[in-house]
Chain A
Amino acid sequence: MGKRNKKVVKEEPLDLSKAEKILDKYEGVDGCLIPVLQQIQNAYGYLQEPAMNLVSERLNISVSEIIGVATFYAQFHLKPRGKHIIKVCCGTACHVKNSKNLSARIEKRFKIKKDETTEDKMFTFEEVPCVGACGIAPVVVFDKDVHGTLSPDKLDGVLDGYTK
């Protein structure tokens, strides 16, 4: 019986040249962490460890502090995100109108939890504070499309429209 060779998937080392360029631009500028993180996220999709180590080295800020900042702001992501972002509003109005049930439906349908991404990297599910459309609560925002007065079943219908 031969040993089964487990395929070791070697992670491609991250090409840091884009991050280097961004950091070069901010050389010696005080208080530049947030713009640097924003641009790195734009360039790489999310904030990855090797890039954060580089930022730490170049800006002389500890990685824990950088990630502290990154996890404070909702705009930064430490995990890869899907092609489409589904946001369920959890603001007061939507909450009162049972937006929780919408979240539950999404979790069931895609088999992911809040802030997770489907395995095929197609969908990311997030919960967000009031999106400013309380009149049509409960609200789900699919990428840039706003869908209001939803029920779980109605939501399924809306999602079918995107997935089929």
Chain B
Amino acid sequence: MINITIDNKLVSVPKGTNIFKAAKDNGIYIPGLCYHPKLTQYGGCRLCMVEVTERGRSRHRFSCAQPVAEGMVVKTNTPETEKYTKSVMEYLLAHHPLDCPTCDKSGECGLQEITHDLKLKPGRFKGARLDDPMRRDNPLLEYNSNRCILCSRCVKVCKEIAGVGAIDYQNRGFKTVVGTAFDKPLDCSFCGGCVSVCPTGSWQDRTLKFKARPWELKKTPTVCTYCAVGCSLVINTKDNEVMRVTADENINLGINESNLCVKGKFGHEFINSDKRVKTPLIKKGGKLRSASWDDALDHISKKFSEIIEKSGGNAIGGIGSEKCTNEDNYLFQKLCRTVLGTNYIDNISNMKSPSLNRLINNSVAYGMASTSLEGIENADTVFFVGADVSEAHPVAGSMVRKAIRVNKTKVIIANVRNVEFGCETKDLLRLNYKLGTQTALINAMIKVIVDEKLVNLKKAADKTENFSELRSFLRSSDLGIKKVSKATNIPEDSIRAAASSIAKAGNCYVICGKDIEEDPSGEETIEALMNLCALVNKGDSDKVSIVFSRQNNNSQGVNDMGVVPEFLPGYLDINDQENRAVVEESWDAKLPAVLKNSPGDIFDLAVKKKIKAIYVMGENPIVNYPNGKKVNDAFKKAEFVVVQDSFLTETAQLADVVLPSSTFAEKGGTFTNMVMTVQRLHKAIPQVGDSKPDWQIICNLAEKMGHEFDYTTSKDIVDEIGKSVPIYEGIEVNRLRRKGFHWILSLYYKTKAEKYQFEIARKKTSAKKGNTKYPFTLLTGSSLRHQGTYSRNSESLVSLASECFVEINRQDAKKAKIVDGDNVKIESAQGNIKLKAKTTGRVPEGAVFVSEDYEWVPVNNLRGDGYTNVKISKTK
């Protein structure tokens, strides 16, 4: 720490801090418009002049460009600095249109504030005022170059954080503006970073236009409801309606340094959408009609009781939600188990990757699971495996970009597709493997490390259970680098380079993505990945950690809360008598009897008519579940379907009763992100229409069915979770207020990591089979601009991305005479859909890619179990 004096106040700040930040962090104001703590320093606005006295010599310095030095004495406000700053402002305002009355920034504008603070009068210069037209070439952002003071913040945020570089200074001198190349319409990731950092009214959020003035907005910090990164954001409301989302109020709020992606920033219109389900609905004569809560709950309670009486509790299946809070999900499983008496509860993420919970828990038990996502900013190596970070977890991508900027981090991307990753590093290694060869690739990397002794093998052998078994497995001839290189289609050198970067000491993050987790051979690949991590950790230093990137905001929490058939909350084996006794006692209720066979998939059982009623909370399985045909069948055959949702989704339309649930903006509770950081939500607006938070609906239903679920606020449920879910022990609302609760971290404190046992793949991965009738493989994945029901009901996102494309490799497209924009029919054995084509180099030959996140595109209708083969043809 360095001690300096600023305006007679002694402050102590870390080495390398500049005077501007040191002052700001200690509550001392220095005018300045270009410096931003999350961006590289620029020193362009010239407003932050201070007087610095060192060793008896006083000089004037730009405070944002001057690092602190021991004993420095700084004066921020002297007659000289004031005179200087005033004249700089005079220059800045000489070209400025001074159109504050028509500017949405008015009231939160840096330029306006400094003008006010310095008590500026009309300047001496009557220079030409700029008069360029306002640019509106996209639905989200508009740009007024006249108001720009060329501080470069937007240019930097776009390049350094968004990794896009869509904008830069164009032209020179008086004509300099921020703009796109060749003046083209803005086509970027629309993260809104530029609007957030712009200190003037140049960049504007069009979705706020004419709706509210900044000072009218009430601000409530909460957590994003889209992906599993778990960004903190601030909901801005007026008259109980959400007007916009910001994040730049406090850079230390949450894990995202006030960065957001397009969904977090602009995807909020669903909250106050007209399409919300506002009252309960009951199906009568084939039509869903408005009903009172009482009638709806009566009806459900009666129906459920009948079914339980006739066929037992196990005839009801419950689907919990990856989007609802932990509290919602906790009560949901409690209701299903104790009130309905069923063992059949599940969630879509578990149905898609049934072994994932076990594998993640292993990674925790071995002490390899990462505890902090933002820790990636200190990584020396980041290895993405089957993870499309730019589309699926954009802000995690920004974290990696920061790591690259600060640490020169090496990034390795292993994927079937040449996925996008915006960054300006030459240190990006791509391993574009052939689908189905990913396990071989990882094993080959392990073999390189062992053969070339890149880590201390003796140490590795000592610290693990069965290193010799791994060695003999590696000797198998299929893992020779030549062979693997041929099979995977990756050059030998790249495999070697990747292996040695991971083996090299230093912080390494391995990020395993959905493409691996949901692959038919996912289990083996993940086991191989863990072997790789363990080998390096044990043979070197414990510096490799692994992150399993879940999809939705609470995909982790829904599993933690026990919305899975085999686990009680906190992954307690439901068949273990001791666990059952403890839980039964704490809940003061009976659990349903242990099932003799392993529980099957709810939809399979519904198809077989073993499950007669389905109760869905906050999910749209008709669209989200990978096997479209099966799930459609299941819902058709079910006698009684209850759906609890904020919108009339495809699934809700099939329901007998629909219960309107409140969105994340209307409730408290917690979400658990992909590294098990539990973060707290805050209610920003009252419930829309007659909707209620899911947990409250569950309490009401329980009561109707004669059970007391006595919780008044979501806090009561958090408290119970803290008491009865072992991994959440110690979670208290107060602690959550300050920082999130990291359950892995608290587990690491309490327990010692287990000795690592290498998993040796015994069965051979079945190679992907070719198919002459359906020559293409269908790849599906995430999309930056959409994610299910919420984005679909956010107008601005829809107008930005109204079309879901099928991405086809350029060569394949050429052969099939398909060009961009052609209508293409994609057909599998299960069904077909029609989409517009986009030709690309990102998808390998022989495959087509369709995003799963455009909810109105039923791509899952094409999919069965395992890989899906399709054929494509041009159509009208």
The residues of A that contact B170 with a CB separation of less than 8 Å are: 64, 67-68, 71
The residues of B that contact A78 with a CB separation of less than 8 Å are: 182
B171 engages A72 (CB within 8 Å): yes
CB distance from A100 to the nearest CB of B (A): 16
The residues of B that contact A73 with a CB separation of less than 8 Å are: 172
Dominant SS among interface residues on chain A: helix
Q: Is B181 an interface residue (CB 8 A)?
A: yes
The residues of A that contact B182 with a CB separation of less than 8 Å are: 49, 52, 63, 67, 78
Q: Could you tell me how many residues of chain A have their Cβ less than 8 Å away from some Cβ of chain B?
A: 16
CB distance from B178 to the nearest CB of A (A): 9
B426 engages A62 (CB within 8 Å): no
Chain B residue at minimum C-beta to C-beta distance from A65: B168
Q: Is A60 an interface residue (CB 8 A)?
A: yes
A67 engages B424 (CB within 8 Å): no
B159 engages A65 (CB within 8 Å): yes
The residues of B that contact A63 with a CB separation of less than 8 Å are: 165, 181-182
Q: Is A61 an interface residue (CB 8 A)?
A: yes
Proximity bits, B668-695, A CB within 8 Å = 1, else 0: 0000000000000000000000000000
Given contacts A52-B181, A72-B172, whether A64 and B167 have CB atoms under 8 Å apart is: yes
Given contacts A49-B182, A62-B164, A64-B181, whether A72 and B426 have CB atoms under 8 Å apart is: no
The residues of A that contact B179 with a CB separation of less than 8 Å are: 64
Chain A residue at minimum C-beta to C-beta distance from B163: A62
Which residues 406-434 of B sit at the A interface, judged by CB distance below 8 A? 424-426
Chain B residue at minimum C-beta to C-beta distance from A78: B182
Partner of A67, one of B159, B168, B172: B168
Query: Interface centre among A65, A66, A73, by most B CB within 10 Å?
Result: A65
CB distance from A10 to the nearest CB of B (A): 13
Partner of A60, one of B168, B171, B424: B424
Proximity bits, B170-209, A CB within 8 Å = 1, else 0: 1110000001111000000000000000000000000000
Proximity bits, B139-183, A CB within 8 Å = 1, else 0: 000000000000000000001000011111111100000011110
Proximity bits, A60-87, B CB within 8 Å = 1, else 0: 1111111110011100001000000000
A64 engages B426 (CB within 8 Å): no
Given contacts A52-B181, A78-B182, whether A64 and B171 have CB atoms under 8 Å apart is: no
> How many angstroms from the CA of A68 to the CA of B171 in the assembled complex?
6
Given contacts A52-B181, A78-B182, whether A64 and B424 have CB atoms under 8 Å apart is: no
A62 engages B165 (CB within 8 Å): yes
B426 engages A60 (CB within 8 Å): yes
The residues of B that contact A62 with a CB separation of less than 8 Å are: 159, 164-166, 168, 181
Proximity bits, A99-140, B CB within 8 Å = 1, else 0: 000000000000000000000000000000000000000000
> How many angstroms from the CA of A149 to the CA of B169 in the assembled complex?
38
Chain A residue at minimum C-beta to C-beta distance from B186: A64
The residues of B that contact A52 with a CB separation of less than 8 Å are: 181-182
CB distance from B428 to the nearest CB of A (A): 9
Chain A residue at minimum C-beta to C-beta distance from B164: A62
B426 engages A68 (CB within 8 Å): no
B172 engages A64 (CB within 8 Å): no
> How many angstroms from the CA of A72 to the CA of B426 in the assembled complex?
26
Can you pick out 19 interface pairs between chain A and chain B where the beta carbons lie within 8 Å of each other? A28-B426, A52-B181, A52-B182, A62-B159, A62-B181, A64-B166, A64-B167, A64-B179, A64-B180, A65-B159, A65-B165, A66-B181, A67-B168, A67-B181, A68-B169, A68-B170, A71-B172, A72-B171, A73-B172
Inter-chain pairs besides A68-B170, A72-B172, 20 sampled, C-beta below 8 Å: A49-B181, A52-B182, A61-B165, A62-B159, A62-B166, A63-B182, A64-B165, A64-B170, A64-B180, A65-B165, A65-B168, A66-B181, A67-B170, A67-B182, A68-B169, A68-B181, A71-B172, A72-B169, A72-B171, A73-B172
Q: Which 9 A-B pairs have the closest CB atoms?
A: A62-B165, A68-B168, A67-B181, A63-B181, A64-B168, A64-B181, A65-B168, A71-B171, A72-B172
